[in-house]
Amino acid sequence: MLIAYENVGKTFETLEGDLTAVRDVNLAVRRGEFVTLVGPSGCGKSTLLNMAAGLFAPTVGTVRYDGEEVAPYNQRVGYMTQNDHLLPWRDARDNVLVPLEIRGMGRGEAQDRVDELLEQLGLKGFERAYPSQLSGGMKKRTALARLLAYDPEALLMDEPFGALDAQLRLKMQIEILRLARTLRKTVVFVTHDLDEAVSLADRTAVFSARPGTIIRVVDVPLGEERDLLTLRRDSAYRDLTAELWDHLSPTVDHAEG
């Protein structure tokens, strides 16, 4: 197991009193697995990723990474959120360079690594473009390149494509699946979109409304070579999304917002 949640609960102290975001979460993510977490807004999905990243500890239970309790700032994971946070004063190449600079990688080696990544993500020719000159898709690709820069074992992705239009989103989904497979990454991918949850996953965990807990974990046996462009016509895919929707729909009334 690479990432394991064991009886995890998290309660925040707020001005209005204690707020339990998640409770009794048990989930073990195998090395190389692509697991999606899907559930209504406010059910604690981001909270769970934050704990795997070591941003804060659970109130009860244990979050483990490679067998050890997660310590503050888990350096072995890469974290990506909906907001790319590209630095506007740096071009694409220098944005991807940031995590390597932080790690103190030598300039030459770092530049080579960045160029390789930009090529891998189809950004060749745009190295010197600033974020304001890049399309939405290219910004996402730049953020993905930066995420992969120091070659983290595991990727924690929090609704990374949430703000994109449908077509671009599909493109980025194809891209992340390709990267996860070829680079053999372990991925925990949070989404509130059931289609996205199923189309990317080896397994998907469905959460209840807050306090969030796992209602169901479903295997998604659609294969490694699934074609996201035609998946929606696949009957196995349709059965799975229908089944998941049956689990998710009772939570709709209790979602925040």
Report the residue number, 9 or 44, with the smaller CB distance to ligand ADP: 44
Among 43, 96, 180, 201, binds ligand ADP (CB under 6 A): 43
Among 36, 46, 213, 251, binds ligand ADP (CB under 6 A): 46
Burial label for 129, CB within 10 Å (0-12, 13-18, 19+), is: middle
Among 99, 210, 214, 226, binds ligand ADP (CB under 6 A): 210
In sequence order, the β-bridge partners of residue 12 are 19
How far is residue 142's CA from residue 81's CA, in Å, rounded to a whole number?
13
Residue 132 touches which of ligand ADP, Mg ion, none (CB < 5 to 8 A by kind)?
Answer: none
Report the residue number, 42 or 131, with the smaller CB distance to ligand ADP: 42
Name the phi and psi angles at 5, rounded to 5: -100, 125
Among 46, 74, 204, 208, binds Mg ion (CB under 5 A): 46
Q: Considering only CA atoms, which of 181, 195, 152, 143 is closest in space to residue 54?
A: 152
Q: Does 19 bind ligand ADP (CB under 6 A)?
A: yes
Beta carbon of residue 48, minimum distance to ligand ADP (angstroms, whole number): 7
Beta carbon of residue 210, minimum distance to ligand ADP (angstroms, whole number): 5
How far is residue 176's CA from residue 186's CA, in Å, rounded to a whole number?
11
Q: Does 36 bind ligand ADP (CB under 6 A)?
A: no
Sequence-ordered list of residues with C-beta below 8 angstroms from that of 15, at least 6 positions apart, any chain: none
